[in-house]
Structure 1
């Protein structure tokens, strides 16, 4: 076996492992089964790539999506690693099989549907295996938010090769999901390594939806880099993509209703681009292996905190400053709760309701967003992170219990048939035709809201719907949810965060964090030209962080360039001369 540290340095150009990478690699090198829970961007791929090169045999990597496999293969090949996949989209199957049988592959990727078959088990028994890596391992658990039944069928494959170390990897797994993964994949409890969930380079922003097009326009003006906007439906994705396209940014759209070829071209264009905005449903999910996504925005409510964490985690995988924006509306909760009651099996509804309540607490919070996220995953973070909207600009929180009780009473007195507009008119004491037609001017709640309370009715309604004290039907009529009773009886207080003022256009964040550097821009241009010439994404050549270090240290020789983080032997030979020439031109 080779020394993992030597491989890390010569192949990947890194001087040392980060975080828990060394612990994970040590266990795999010792032949031990392991579950590694590591945040996106923490270098999970290295945890199986390094042992794959250090141990004899080929590493089998089970991955859920073809597009993700192909991106990972492209990145691996950039470092000189021999990698291939066996999928329905590959037309070089015989060549891959020949390379595999000849021991000419370091990594072989396969989907769980293929890997769980008996014929595949017989195939890989022909060649020594270095390890078996199960990527996105939360898919094996019914408690996870991306449950994939085929992951449940992997155990016979793993047990067929008991002496081969198995390494399960995920960025998103709460305590219950972690326990299920260990059980399903036959990994001992002592094999669990949790790196922590914090992504300190991501700045979290959560705002009520208030003119989404304008909110996105402000976001794009502040963020010139590539980004993803998640839409709740296919129709919304199409509409938002059209709006974003008119804002002058390269724009793509991606959802399951599009032809597979159209989706593939959209994803390829996004991966190649440095400033494209992809508007997509969550169908554009785990297949994203693009490290330089500068922002992720949600135009609707994610399914759960786990889903939110994973989807926002697609920003800033390269470690550079990035942003996550969520624009939500009360109707999002209504639709989500209706979906739970009508589409989710009864035995799983309790868990889904808990997930929605947790999302409600996150969006309505007056305190640190990051602290809420990290506590959800069992951590004990500081009370303030200094890098979320609430920490940077603490909002004003007010006790709205009394106006909440008045609003609930108005909904009850009007027989729970009317929407927020009519209830506001009733509480304000407006003499409208509609109010007189229904005799609502005779109700005890007519005109009981004060002038100070009226502006709070809409945010209070939003808060009550988030915590399931109010529910809206398909026509907008508001009725009681299970949380209403305690508020009406005075057993529970209602605190709301006052709606923030519209964000003023600010200086672009990347300009503030990284002042303009002509050498850095020239290095990016060189990378862009090489990427276009070789038909690979720019990040496959070098990450921005590597270029930034080049711009700072100005390596004027190949020997000096080899000491830059991220410059391994293969990349030095392939690209070194071009980048050294750029540095020399700027001296």
Structure 2
């Protein structure tokens, strides 16, 4: 398939000018009828790897997907982009199924989404040759080595036998090497090409905090995020309900979500979240797999996940539009114990415990977290990321022998019979029921560490555990006990070096400029919500936040300018362009009217043009306002661009003209100046358009 055709299809239906890394390679492999395994992080663009080929392939593309919500979301998005797609599952009425079968017979569908349990419904309608591509989404579900094993997936190996000449495309966001090999073996695609995209989601901030006073930390985190969408993952149903209830009291639009809520209410909660009616979901891990919502700005783990695959997939639900987003993980030994209990009842107990141990190591790390995360998936990061809590506050080591001796002595005096919280309470001289009941105030170590905060003591004790001086007796209610190594510190003058725990404010690195109610972004967001309600589809299926931000920056005021926005395809321009352009023009006019007119000194003509341009005026409007020719304004803007001002040259010319001039540049032999192009196009393209296009192309070639 020619690259030009692929790029035109990408822009026409999905609104993007270029492919993301690996997408083109994967799509080309599909057109070569090869089997492929794609490991691509959440938000990395997996769907386009089969949706784009489906548009161009002659027969239907069959997509196996595990969740009804996920199928509905994908199909709604495709239909909004002008791609005929449908989904089939056991919950549908017979009449709906028959209507879909009729569409299959009439070749009216390009993609059909089916749950693995519902494959028998379509089997009789499809013969080898009638299916151009089989895409298996969330492919890790087939493997017991994976983090989300689903028995229904194990039957999918028959598909390659049933359709031997049809390429199979297996896709997942997370799979270690053992899981990857298991997926290929079970799907009968041993020769599949493996494409492993970078797992580095640079826009995601990573942060881990001790699991103390979690609600206070969460409310501080949310202080400047009142209207942002986020998910808080919890281990238990009870915690989701309690947390959602507390957040509601604080004025947040929060809901609990777990398997104990009836199907109708769960669907409503999910729809409210997708449509921005609710901003926060407090959920068990069951939530999110079927959500393709691109503007989730943050994810909090109230409890520690059971493995790094699950953690990575869950934090990957934030920032799918590429904008900066935050993740926060609370870590406590109580969570570790609970997860160990869960693992002890599993078939693959040994594997689960090993993966839990890796998760624990990540949580306790004193080195770049992204490095740890990426190395788990076989990717090496040469430099520290600069976007995790460790990189932002790198530890400094100090001699902590006295601190260690106090802690170890306290555990010795307690005879190894208390967990970390009670040890800290004794060290800090707390007065509570545990202290009084056991007369711990009589111990010689009572209060010897009251000059150190609770949080610092917790961190120091964790470090001593990692250094091997203390161990946790998991079989004895998590009591802290001394190891043989502890004697060296207590009695043999061995020195201990601890990482300095810095005081931090409860906020992430992303400095949030709160979006004001009268900003253009907010007005466009409200318009998007209004249209979403009219059409009864999720708001992000119209345009994602990144597209709205681009509109706010570029201020498109014509169809051709609107098409230049990343994420705007032709159908969306035709469906929604007029209303968004109208809003942008109205906003720009309102700002101009409110802005006091400045008297410009003579000779400051470039600055005056720039000022009007920044106010959102078109070239025609600036020329009229200043009483000069359009060509003069074009000249000003090019000069301003050359001087380093933020002038979007693309905004000044139609994209079709730019493409024509790019082709002419390749075809013309030794063009001598603008006139050659002007005559080549028989004077149909103005000089200024040619001049700006050549400037864009020149910059493109030199970059």
TM-score, normalised by the number of residues in structure 2: 0.74
Match of 1:281 in 2: 284
Q: Which of 102, 106, 120 pairs up with 2:106?
A: 102
The number of equivalent residue pairs is: 577
Structure 1 range deviating more: 464-473 or 314-323: 464-473
Other structure's SS at 1:295 match:
strand
Other structure's SS at 1:531 match:
helix
Structure 1 residues 367, 275: CA separation in 2 closer, same or farther (over 3 Å shift)? farther
2:128–2:162 Cα contact (<8 Å) kept = no
Shift of 1:281: 0.7
1:204–1:325 Cα contact (<8 Å) kept = yes
- Counterpart mapping for 1:180-199 below 5 A: 180-189=182-191, 191-199=193-201
Match of 1:297 in 2: 300
Other structure's SS at 1:249 match:
coil
Match of 1:9 in 2: 11
Q: Tell me, which stretches of 5 or more residues in structure 2 are unaligned?
A: 589-616, 618-703
Q: Which of 84, 87, 90 pairs up with 1:88?
A: 90
Larger Rg: 2
Match of 1:578 in 2: 579
Structure 1 residues 95, 149: CA separation in 2 closer, same or farther (over 3 Å shift)? same
- Counterpart mapping for 1:499-510 below 5 A: 501=503, 503-504=505-506, 509-510=511-512
How many angstroms apart in 1 are the aligned matches of 2:549 and 2:152? 42
Structure 1 residues 102, 325: CA separation in 2 closer, same or farther (over 3 Å shift)? same
Structure 1 residues 127, 273: CA separation in 2 closer, same or farther (over 3 Å shift)? farther
Q: Which of 312, 315, 319 pairs up with 2:318?
A: 315
Structure 1 residues 230, 103: CA separation in 2 closer, same or farther (over 3 Å shift)? same
How many angstroms apart in 2 are the aligned matches of 1:531 and 1:434? 55
How many angstroms apart in 2 are the aligned matches of 1:437 and 1:213? 28
How many angstroms apart in 2 are the aligned matches of 1:40 and 1:170? 8
Match of 2:458 in 1: 458
- Counterpart mapping for 1:24-43 below 5 A: 24-43=26-45
How many angstroms apart in 2 are the aligned matches of 1:576 and 1:181? 43
Other structure's SS at 1:314 match:
coil
How many angstroms apart in 2 are the aligned matches of 1:568 and 1:429? 65
1:487–1:493 Cα contact (<8 Å) kept = no
Structure 1 residues 352, 441: CA separation in 2 closer, same or farther (over 3 Å shift)? same
Match of 1:328 in 2: 331
Deviation track 1:233-256 (CA, whole Å, cap 9, x = no partner) reads 000000000111122221121000
Structure 1 range deviating more: 515-524 or 135-144: 515-524
Q: Which of 236, 240, 246 pairs up with 1:237?
A: 240
2:252 paired with 1:249: yes
How many angstroms apart in 2 are the aligned matches of 1:453 and 1:479? 19
Shift of 1:437: 9.3
1:360–1:466 Cα contact (<8 Å) kept = no
Deviation track 1:172-205 (CA, whole Å, cap 9, x = no partner) reads 1112211211222233456000111010011111
Other structure's SS at 1:222 match:
coil
Shift of 1:547: 2.2
How many angstroms apart in 1 are the aligned matches of 2:66 and 2:101? 20
How many angstroms apart in 1 are the aligned matches of 2:263 and 2:329? 28
Match of 1:261 in 2: 264
Give the number of the structure with larger relative contact order, counting CA–CA contacts within 8 Å between residues 6 or more apart: 1
Match of 2:632 in 1: none
Shift of 1:400: 6.1
Shift of 1:155: 0.6
How many angstroms apart in 2 are the aligned matches of 1:584 and 1:447? 70
Structure 1 range deviating more: 220-229 or 45-54: 220-229
1:226–1:274 Cα contact (<8 Å) kept = no
Deviation track 1:135-180 (CA, whole Å, cap 9, x = no partner) reads 1111111111111122111011222101111101111111221121
Structure 1 residues 211, 563: CA separation in 2 closer, same or farther (over 3 Å shift)? same
Match of 2:134 in 1: 132
2:255–2:278 Cα contact (<8 Å) kept = no
Structure 1 range deviating more: 465-474 or 417-426: 465-474
Structure 1 range deviating more: 395-404 or 197-206: 395-404
Shift of 1:525: 2.5
Shift of 1:440: 8.4
Other structure's SS at 2:296 match:
coil
Q: Tell me, which stretches of 5 or more residues in structure 1 are unaligned?
A: none
How many angstroms apart in 2 are the aligned matches of 1:9 and 1:235? 46
Match of 2:698 in 1: none
1:76–1:82 Cα contact (<8 Å) kept = yes
Shift of 1:480: 5.5
Deviation track 1:325-365 (CA, whole Å, cap 9, x = no partner) reads 11122211122223323x123xx222222212212221111
- Counterpart mapping for 1:371-390 below 5 A: 371-390=371-390
How many angstroms apart in 2 are the aligned matches of 1:432 and 1:569? 67
2:221–2:506 Cα contact (<8 Å) kept = no
1:333–1:466 Cα contact (<8 Å) kept = no
Root-mean-square deviation (CA, aligned residues, Å) is 3.5
Match of 2:343 in 1: 340
2:205–2:388 Cα contact (<8 Å) kept = yes
1:330–1:463 Cα contact (<8 Å) kept = no
- Counterpart mapping for 1:38-187 below 5 A: 38-91=40-93, 92-115=96-119, 117=120, 120-125=122-127, 128-187=130-189
How many angstroms apart in 2 are the aligned matches of 1:246 and 1:460? 35
Structure 1 range deviating more: 215-224 or 287-296: 215-224
